[in-house]
Amino acid sequence: MTVTNGYTQVEILQAAIDPSGQARWTAADVFNQELAIDAASRWIDQYSHTRFYTTTSDETRYYTAHAYWQLYLPDDLLSITTLKTDDDDDGTYETTWATTDYVLLPTNAALKSKPYRSIEMASNGTLSWPTRVRNGVEIVGTFGYCTGSGLTAPAPIRQACLMIAHRLWKRKDAVFGVAGSSGVGVTTVIATIQADSDIRMLLDAGYDKRGGFY
């Protein structure tokens, strides 16, 4: 299989598994390593409630405004191509906002390679959010925590992915949670990744969590 937007690479995982570089990997080994990276990356997305890459083409997403002056985004926004609103709840997004009609927040997000998480109407603007319309806002743009592929994710995220993928690789030899034998020592493989304090620390430090409105 091919890993898409993984947060580490097969070569890096192989070096972690075999630091000596003497191992000879079969096609089945490589497949399982790719599968471990893919599973670890998507688990991180679910844990973080975001994704650490952006798509090459624009996506269209819809939001409901709860305040006339501010739109809180449950998704991480990187850029806007078009922003439209359905002001009369007729299913048609007839009002197109100019870039001068709104302000993306936090203000310095792009300078810090971080996403926008809310949009305010411009202080001198004439447009406001349609608060009585479900899914009254249409945004076409790019989404994700950071630009680029998964390999541009913050370092803590990439390290956590490597650790999780390494553990998933080892689990093939420990389907019941234990690997090894009494003659060479027994290694207990923790089944629940969330129980690993190091992984959780990396994930918790790897991105800015939502703290409400900005």
Residues 117, 64 within the same domain: yes
C-alpha 118/C-alpha 105 separation (Å) is 5
Residue 181 pLDDT greater than 90, yes or no: no
Which range of residues forms the domain containing residue 125? 59-143
Q: Which of 121, 143, 165 is the last residue of a domain?
A: 143
Give the three-state DSSP class for 79. Answer: strand
pLDDT tens figures, 122-165: 998 889 999 999 999 999 999 999 999 999 999 999 999 999 99
Residues 64, 139 within the same domain: yes
Residues 139, 170 within the same domain: no
Number of domains in the chain: 2
Q: Evaluate whether residue 3 is within a structural domain.
A: no
Residues 158, 178 within the same domain: yes
Residues 34, 157, 76, CA angle at the centre, nearest 5°? 105
Q: Evaluate whether residue 104 is within a structural domain.
A: yes
Residues 106, 68 within the same domain: yes
Q: Evaluate whether residue 159 is within a structural domain.
A: yes
pLDDT tens figures, 14-66: 999 999 999 999 999 999 999 999 999 999 999 999 999 999 899 999 999 99
What is the reported pTM? 0.84
Residues 114, 137 within the same domain: yes
Q: Evaluate whether residue 213 is within a structural domain.
A: no
C-alpha 9/C-alpha 33 separation (Å) is 9
